[in-house]
Amino acid sequence: VKTIGVLTSGGDAPGMNAAIRAVVRTAIHKGLKVKGIMRGYAGLLQEEIVDMDSTSVSDIIHRGGTILYTARCQEFITAEGQKKGAEICRKHNIDGIVVIGGDGSFRGAGKLSALGINTIGLPGTIDLDIACTDYTIGFDTAVNTAMEAIDKVRDTSTSHERCSIIEVMGRNAGYIALWCGFANGAEDILLPERYDGDEQSLINRIIDNRKRGKKHHIIINAEGIGHSASMARRIEAATGIETRATILGHMQRGGAPTCKDRVYASIMGARAVELLCEGKSNRVVGYKHGEYVDIDIQEALAMTKDIPEDQYQISKMLVR
C-alpha cells in the first residue's frame, strides 16, 4: 500500500479521534500517504476526501466526537454504490482503508475488500455490541459519563425518597445498562436482552424495598425498552411513591474520552495500519481475552454475543 484512507461511520463514539490520530501518524511513520474521508461512506461517494498530515490530527486525542464527521449512507448498501466507492478510491489512489464504526460499517468494509480495496475495520461504538471483541472504542467513556450522571440523580432521588427511572443508551444491547446497574447500585436493571415486560414484579419489588426502609429505588432502563416516562407514571400510580424518569440521551455519546478509550483506540489504530502494510484486508481489529487480535470480517459478523448471565445474576443479587 502507498496511500490509505480513513473514515468514521455509523454512530459516533468518544475515542474515534484517538483512533484517527493513530492511523494517520502510524501511516506517516511508515512512509504512506493518508487521506481523510469525510462523513463515512456518504462522503466517499461525494468525494469529500482531504489530504492529511501529522498536524491534521494535532490536539484531538482528548476530544469526543470525530473530526471526520460520521454519517449513514443508504446508497452504499447497494452494489452500484459500493462499485462507485471502490472506483473513487482508485481514482484517489487509495489502496487501503481503515473503517471505524459498528457492524453495519464492517459490512460496507467487507464489500470494499471484495472489490479490491484492502480494508480493515476498527470497532467504534458506545454500545459494546460487536460480537468479535470484548472492547469497543467509546464504551468506557459512555459508561463513565452515564455513571456520573446517575450518581447525581441518585443524590436527589434519595433526598426526596423517590423512585427514579434512568434511561441509558442501548437500542439492542444492554451493556451500558448492565454496567451502570452495577456501578450505580441500581435496584433494578432492565435489559433489552432480558426484560419480559413484567411491570407488576417491578412494582412489587419497589413496594417491598420501601417496606424494608430503602430511601430510593433506582431503575436503569435501556433505550431499547424505552417508555420511561409512561413507566414512571404507572409506577407512581401503583405504588404511591413519587417516580421520575430521566432520559440521559446523547450526552452519553460525547465528552472527553477516558484514558482507556484513548489508549485502546490508539493501539487499535496503529494495528490497523500495520495489517494494511502486511497486505491484509477484510479484517476487524478486536480485543479478546486480554489481547489485540484481528478477525476475518465475515467471521466477525457471523458471531453473536449476549449479556453474560452470571454477571446479570450477580448484579441482581447485590441489591437484594
The contact set with ligand ATP (CB under 6 A) reads 9-11, 41, 72-73, 76-77, 101-105, 107-108, 111, 125
Are the CB atoms for 5 and 96 separated by under 8 Å?
yes
CA distance 187 to 92: 55
In the bound state with ligand ATP, the residue whose beta carbon lies nearer, of 52 and 73, is 73
In the bound state with ligand ATP, the residue whose beta carbon lies nearer, of 73 and 149, is 73
| SS3 assignment, position 54 | helix
From the list 211, 146, 138, the residue with the least C-alpha distance to 179 is 146
Specify the residue for cell string 487521506. Answer: 35
In the bound state with ligand ATP, the residue whose beta carbon lies nearer, of 151 and 306, is 306
DSSP string, 56-121: GGTT-TT--S-TT-----SGGGSHHHHHHHHHHHHHTT--EEEEEE-HHHHHHHHHHHHTT-EEEE
Q: How far is the CB of 63 from ligand ATP (least distance, A)?
A: 18
Q: How far is the CB of 101 from ligand ATP (least distance, A)?
A: 4
Q: How far is the CB of 296 from ligand ATP (least distance, A)?
A: 16
Residue 255's Cβ-count burial label (10 Å; 0-12, 13-18, 19+) is: middle
In the bound state with ligand ATP, the residue whose beta carbon lies nearer, of 33 and 69, is 69
Q: How far is the CB of 273 from ligand ATP (least distance, A)?
A: 20
Q: How far is CA 204 from CA 94, 164, 210, 239, 306, in A?
A: 60, 15, 10, 8, 28
- State which residue has the least CB distance to ligand ATP: 104
**Amino acid, single-letter form, for residue 163:** C
In the bound state with ligand ATP, the residue whose beta carbon lies nearer, of 84 and 234, is 84
Q: How far is the CB of 88 from ligand ATP (least distance, A)?
A: 14
Active site residues: 127
In the bound state with ligand ATP, the residue whose beta carbon lies nearer, of 305 and 316, is 305
CA distance 21 to 271: 12
Torsion angle of C-alpha atoms 55, 60, 61, 62, degrees rounded to 10: 150
Instruction: Identify the bridge partners of residue 293 per DSSP, sorted by sequence position.
Output: 286
140's CB contacts (< 8 A; 6+ apart) are 15, 257, 258, 260, 261, 264
In the bound state with ligand ATP, the residue whose beta carbon lies nearer, of 114 and 238, is 114
Q: How far is the CB of 169 from ligand ATP (least distance, A)?
A: 10
Are the CB atoms for 141 and 14 separated by under 8 Å?
yes
Q: How far is the CB of 82 from ligand ATP (least distance, A)?
A: 6
Are the CB atoms for 126 and 11 separated by under 8 Å?
yes
Instruction: Check residue 240 and give left, alpha or beta (phi > 0: left; psi -120 to 50: alpha).
Output: left
